[in-house]
């Protein structure tokens, strides 16, 4: 009869010998072709609408003081690196710069201008 584990003890692991299926002859792991690898690299750098929405939400939740701190922290060199890492920022920057040309009423509805991102272009 198997021993019952105590409340704070892990149960014994079953014997797993022979659980893995051996590879059949002729089945080998195939490396992806170069076209697939290149396509995957390009896809990775495409902007994500979901990530852009998260960034907008996070920026919208920041206080004026936090936004000013972000303005001071983002240098032109840092901006270039951020654009490589987060291609979503380019569209965000364009939207911010276009809102800067909008009528005053729309600017007030959109909230404070985000100078940190506006200066990244």
Please state, for a pLDDT cut of 90, what percent of the chain lies above it: 26
Domains in the chain: boundaries: 49-118
CB 92 within 8 A of CB 117: yes
**Residue 107, pLDDT score:** 40
The reply to whether the predicted model has a pTM over 0.85 is no
pLDDT tens-digit readout, 58-105: 988 999 999 899 989 999 899 999 999 999 998 888 887 787 654 444
Token pair recorded at residue 102: 């909008």
CA distance to 35, 82, 97, per residue, from 91 (Å): 28, 13, 10
* Distance of alpha carbon 75 from alpha carbon 73, whole angstroms: 6
Confidence of residue 112 (pLDDT cuts 50, 70, 90): very low
**Residue 69, pLDDT score:** 94
Please state, rounded to an integer, the average pLDDT across all residues of the chain: 76
CA distance to 22, 30, 34, per residue, from 27 (Å): 10, 9, 21
**Residue 7, pLDDT score:** 64
């Amino acid at each position: 009869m198997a021993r019952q584990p105590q409340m704070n003890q892990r149960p014994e692991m079953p014997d797993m010998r022979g659980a893995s299926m051996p590879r059949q002859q002729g089945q080998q792991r195939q490396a992806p072709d170069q076209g697939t690898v290149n396509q995957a690299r390009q896809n990775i750098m495409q902007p994500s609408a979901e990530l852009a929405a998260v960034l907008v939400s996070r920026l919208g939740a920041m206080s004026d003081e936090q936004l000013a701190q972000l303005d001071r922290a983002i240098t032109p060199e840092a901006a270039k690196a951020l654009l490589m890492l987060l291609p979503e920022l380019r569209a965000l920057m364009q939207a911010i710069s276009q809102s800067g040309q909008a009528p005053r009423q729309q600017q007030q509805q959109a909230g404070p201008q985000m100078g940190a991102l506006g200066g990244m272009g």
